[in-house]
Amino acid sequence: MASLLPLLFFFFFASPSLVNATSINRDLYHSSADLLEQIKALVHRHPDKLTAETIKTGNKGYKAEITVVTYCRSRKETDDRSKFRILLSFGQHGRELITTELAFRILSVLSEEQFLPDVDAASLNNTLDKLIVKVVPMENLNGRKLVEEGDLCERRNGRGVDLNRNWSIDWGKKEKDYDPYEENPGTGPFSEPETQIMRKLALTFDPHIWVNVHSGMEALFMPYDHRNTTPDGVLSERMRSLLGKLNNVHCHKHCMIGSGGGSVGYLAHGTATDFMYDIVKVPMAFTFEIYGDTAASSKDCFKMFNPVDLTTFNRVLNDWSSAFFTIFKLGPLQLDGNHSKAMASGVDRFVSIDEYLDGYLMERRNRYGKKMEVLDVGMQEIRTYFRLFLLSSVLLLFMFCSRIAKGKSSRPIVSALSI
């Protein structure tokens, strides 16, 4: 009994934040396993609208998996490039449980098991007929498990890397207020399996709209996160216009709007949204912050990032699920019905051999559902053979052209008078 006294003293006096911290409300929030099972059951009940796949990969002894749900009103058209494509990611940070609940709500509405108030069903169906929506309901499953085990402030993945700092745009730059615990960017761009999966998914799907959903405040952000400015041009104006409409209708005019780097008070380097806009050339790339309790203690992470009462919980899900269906309706209109992505860059984007191979292999796995081990091993060999093939082709072409040139130069010159 005496040995317990120091522990009790620490628990009650030395660390009061541990006593006062809000725990996960199990009556409101699903566990990660239950949520994914509920989503898979939803897909099973609606095979005419929804499909699901679980993508697994890993490196250096660390394994990760991501479930991707695709909504398309006709499954045979899931590869139809004429449709407007939207990619949504939730749960990139483990402690933001409310975002994964929103993903489930959106999928429930898409499946027509739940309905939005004051929305005409016929008009909604007409909008959805033109879309393919891919939803990643829980990008950071390993980090989420750590939160459920009691580390309620954990935002990183299962080996301590912030997945929203692991992308290649301005990767690794550290601001003066850099917190290595919160913002560890990893050993290099795309060092983490979760980020590798998301990059491949984005390159193969090639969306018109990307939304990365977080919590911690209420905001509608557009690029850039690594600088305090927004992009120039028509697309930037249209992104801001769409966000203004969402703020007025669904965010009750109190959401912050602008670039992530210019609005939130700090710059973030290596983020997903900046990569989507600059590299994937997504015409409209956003980061949404759907909830934040500014009165909560910084040590009470669950309360800071997630609603703790039923009324607020339902309000957040209702407001933001409606906001996403407004995006589904207005997004194509903001791009003038033009489904090409040339406006994003003015020229076709360059895709490296590595990106192409990664994307190609992911597409094969997505389409046929086969376990393709080359995603995990052998990629370097495939790249090497591909490069050797290109090199040998160039050399053969050079030799062929040289022979032709030599042959022409050795021919005798015939006088025109002899004809």
So which residues are the catalytic ones?
289
DSSP annotation of 12 reads I
Instruction: Report CA Rg, the chain.
Output: 25
DSSP annotation of 165 reads G
Neighbouring-strand partners of residue 53: 68
Beta strands, E only, 19-71? 50-59, 62-71
CA distance 389 to 372: 22
CA distance 65 to 59: 12
253: left (phi over 0), alpha (psi -120 to 50) or beta: left
- For residue 14, the tally of other CB atoms under 10 A from its CB is 9
CA distance 149 to 152: 8
CB 244 within 8 A of CB 314: no
As a whole number of Å, the end-to-end CA separation of the chain is 118
DSSP annotation of 332 reads H
DSSP annotation of 167 reads S
Distance of CA 109 to the CA centre of its chain: 21
CA distance 108 to 105: 5
DSSP codes joined into one string, 121-148: HHHHHHHHTTEEEEEES-S-HHHHHHHH
The 3-state DSSP class for residue 70 equals strand
* Sign, Cα dihedral of 70, 71, 72, 76: positive
Work out the angle at residue 186's Cα, subtended by the Cα atoms of residues 285 and 196, and round it to the nearest 5 degrees.
50
State the alpha helices, DSSP H only, in 116-271.
121-128, 141-148, 180-183, 193-205, 234-249, 260-263
Closest CA to 89 of 43, 38, 140: 140
